[in-house]
A and B are shown apart, each in its own frame.
Chain A
Amino acid sequence: MDFFNQSKIFSLINKYQSFVLIFFLLILLLGLTEALFLSPQDYLQGDSVRIMYVHVPSAWISLGIFSLMALLSILVFVFKNKNLIIISKSLAPSGFVFTLIALVTGSIWGKPTWGTWWAWDARITSMLILAFFYFMYLLAWRVFENKDNVVKITSLICIIGAINIPLIKFSVDWWSTLHQPSSIKILSESTIHESMLIPLILMTAAFALFSLLIFLMKYNTELIKIKIKGLDRL
Chain B
Amino acid sequence: MYGKKVKLRILFLIVLVLTIALTVFFVLNSLKENVVYFLSPSEVKILSEIKKDKIRVGGMVKKNSININNDQIIFVITDFKNDINVSYAGLVPNLFQENKGVVAEGFLQDRNYFKAVKILAKHDENYMPPELNKKIEE
- State the Cβ distance, A119 to closest chain B Cβ, in Å: 7
Whether B95 lies near A45 (C-beta < 8 A) is yes
- State the Cβ distance, A180 to closest chain B Cβ, in Å: 5
Whether A113 lies near B123 (C-beta < 8 A) is yes
Residue in A112, A163, A193 whose CB lies within 8 Å of B24:
A163
Cβ of B78 within 8 Å of any chain A Cβ, yes or no, is no
Whether A183 lies near B130 (C-beta < 8 A) is no
Which residues on A sit within 8 Å (CB–CB) of B38?
176, 178
- State the Cβ distance, B20 to closest chain A Cβ, in Å: 6
CA distance A225 to B69 in the complex (A): 70
CA distance A119 to B37 in the complex (A): 8
- Stretch in contact with the other chain, from B8-16, B45-53, B60-68, B107-115: B8-16
Whether A178 lies near B122 (C-beta < 8 A) is yes
Which residues on A sit within 8 Å (CB–CB) of B100?
44
Which residues on A sit within 8 Å (CB–CB) of B13?
74, 77-78, 159
- State the Cβ distance, B137 to closest chain A Cβ, in Å: 10
Whether B121 lies near A183 (C-beta < 8 A) is no
Other contacts beyond A112-B93, A115-B119, A191-B127: 20, CB < 8 A:
A49-B127, A78-B10, A113-B93, A113-B95, A115-B95, A115-B96, A119-B37, A119-B120, A122-B36, A162-B17, A163-B17, A163-B21, A175-B37, A176-B37, A176-B38, A176-B40, A177-B36, A177-B37, A178-B103, A183-B125
Instruction: List residues of chain A with CB under 8 Å of any chain B CB.
Output: 40-45, 49, 52, 74, 77-79, 112-116, 119-122, 156, 159-160, 162-163, 167, 175-178, 180-183, 191-193, 195-196
Provide a sorted-by-A list of 12 A–B residue pairs whose CB atoms are within 8 angstroms. Answer: A44-B100, A49-B127, A113-B121, A113-B123, A115-B93, A122-B35, A163-B20, A178-B122, A180-B123, A191-B125, A192-B126, A196-B128
